[in-house]
Amino acid sequence: MRCSTTSAVAAAIAAAISFAPQSATAAEPEKIVDALGTVFGKHKARASGAKGQCVTGMFTPTADARQLTKSASFQKPIPVLGRFSMGGGNPKAPDTAKPLVRGFAFKLDPNGTTPSEFVMVNAPVNFAKTPAQMFGFLEARFPADGKQDPEKIKAFAAANPETTRQGAWLTSKPVPASYAGVSYWGIHAYTMTNTAGQAQLMKFKLVPTGGEAGLTDDEAKAKPADFLVAELTDRIAKKAPAGFDVMAIVGEAGDPTNDPTMTWRDEDKRKTVKLGTIAITAIEKNETCDAGIFDPTNLADGLAGPKDDPMFLPRQPAYAISLTRRAN
Ligand code: HEM
């Protein structure tokens, strides 16, 4: 798999500099990257999702996907470059931690002319509604004399109850036994448009083809801190299912698109349409993923992100700024 090029890095930085946010100040993505560094310490890894593993595979779309979108990413089988990660900026985060999100970032047709990119986590909601709230969440965790202040964290949570929803979701679930044994959500509301010009509001959910695999708290305690990559390597070697059905959760008129801390009404009972299947077929050297970013705003025509979700567009400049920091 070809590495992202220097010109891709330059383009990402240029886009970050020219970024014109909707409801955030231009400084916010950089402030957040700095804040992640203050909470997790400065290092040469990603500011978030610091610990992870690059992988490759294939995406095979369904005929139903072609009915919903004209996007080049959903017309024929195409390669996938992906990266699984542990949430947060600790490059040594233990794989047994319960309250940390597991992430799955991936590009459909990474070396093609019209790739689509996604950065998903194993929760249906985000922990902040706006970049300013994300900054506040991090600021409440800034260490003083090397220690976080639990009272400050508690006070922020009490004043911003929606920031506790993601953590509550994660702690209500078992520790994932595999990066390929848990569901991931795109969280944001997307719109798919087909060749007839019909638009459909939807959210993405990835459902593991081998089923959910969780650990009890005691089983998790007995696992080494870095078991997830070994498990995935073994799963792929055995040709056990290591992939995801890509599902569209079908949106309805009036569904909000501006709040990533909320699920839609009865979201888990909604009609879903299978858009295709991702099969992870190989572990890839991390340098391939580390050479660039996964930019969730880069989507092949026929698929669009939300226009009014304040968390969507700032992701590109934040990821590009983080890339420059880890490259220097
Ligand atoms: C729904 C909202 C979001 C979700 C689900 C999310 C999830 C993730 C995940 C899974 C990663 C790891 C990516 C990888 O493996 O390459 C990541 C990286 C990161 N996120 Fe987010 N994120 C969200 C919003 C944001 C926002 C709004 C900001 C800042 C404005 C931000 C800042 C970062 C940074 C700086 C990185 C490191 C990027 C890199 O160095 O490649 N995130 N995020």
Q: Distance (Å, rounded) from C-alpha 285 to C-alpha 207?
A: 25
The values of phi and psi at residue 169, to 5°, are -60, -50
CA of 319 to the centre of ligand 1 (A): 6
In angstroms, rounded to a whole number, what is the distance separating the alpha carbons of residues 322 and 328? 10
Measured distance CA(154)–CA(38) in Å, rounded: 19
| Averaged pLDDT of the chain | 93
* pLDDT tens digits, one per residue of 126-142: 999 999 999 999 999 99
* Domains defined along the chain, listed by start: 6-327 (2.40.180.10)
For ligand 1, atom 18: residue with the closest CA: 48
Percentage of the chain beyond pLDDT 90 is 90
How does pLDDT run across 274-305, given as a tens digit for each residue? 999 999 999 999 999 999 999 999 999 999 99
Please report which confidence band the pLDDT of residue 42 belongs to, taking 50, 70 and 90 as the band edges.
confident
pLDDT for position 31: 97
> Residue 125: which pLDDT band, with cuts at 50, 70 and 90?
very high
Q: How far is CA 28 from CA 32, 41, 46, 132, 281, in A?
A: 6, 19, 17, 7, 38
Residue 5's pLDDT band (cuts 50, 70, 90): very low
Pairing of β 102-108 and β 116-121:
antiparallel
**Banded pLDDT at 26 (limits 50, 70, 90):** low
The pLDDT confidence band at residue 326, using thresholds 50, 70 and 90, is confident
- Evaluate the CA torsion angle 85, 86, 91, 92 in order and state its sign: negative
Q: How many other C-beta atoms can be found within 10 angstroms of the C-beta atom of residue 77?
A: 13
Residue nearest (by alpha carbon) to ligand 1 atom 32: 318
Mean pLDDT value across residues 220-239: 98
Pocket test for ligand 1, best of 13, 46, 188 (most atoms within 8 A of CB): 46
| 53-68 pLDDT, tens digit each | 999 999 999 999 999 9
pLDDT at 8: 45
Query: Which residues does 50 contact at the CB level (< 8 Å), separation at least 6?
Result: 40, 43, 85, 86, 88, 89, 90, 91, 93
Look at residue 1 and tell me whether its pLDDT is greater than 70.
no
pLDDT at 22 over 70: no
Split at pLDDT 50, 70, 90, the class of 76 is very high
> Average pLDDT, stretch 102-127?
98
The residue type of 248 is: A
pLDDT at 139: 97
The one-letter code for the residue type at 157 is A
Q: What is the pLDDT of residue 305?
A: 98
Would you state the pLDDT for residue 27? 74
Could you tell me the distance, in angstroms and rounded to a whole number, from the CA of residue 45 to the centre of ligand 1?
13
Atom of ligand 1 at shortest distance to CA of 260? 1
- CA 321-324-327 angle, to 5 degrees, is 150
| Å from CA of 232 to ligand 1 middle | 22
Alpha carbon of 113 to ligand 1 centroid (Å): 24
Q: Which residues line ligand 1 (CB under 6 A)?
A: 29, 32-33, 36, 46-49, 52, 83, 85, 103, 105, 119, 121, 126, 131, 134, 187, 260, 293-294, 311, 314-315, 318-319, 322-323, 326
Question: In which band, very low, low, confident or very high, does the pLDDT at 25 lie, cut at 50, 70 and 90?
Answer: low
| Distance of CA 48 from the midpoint of ligand 1 (Å) | 6
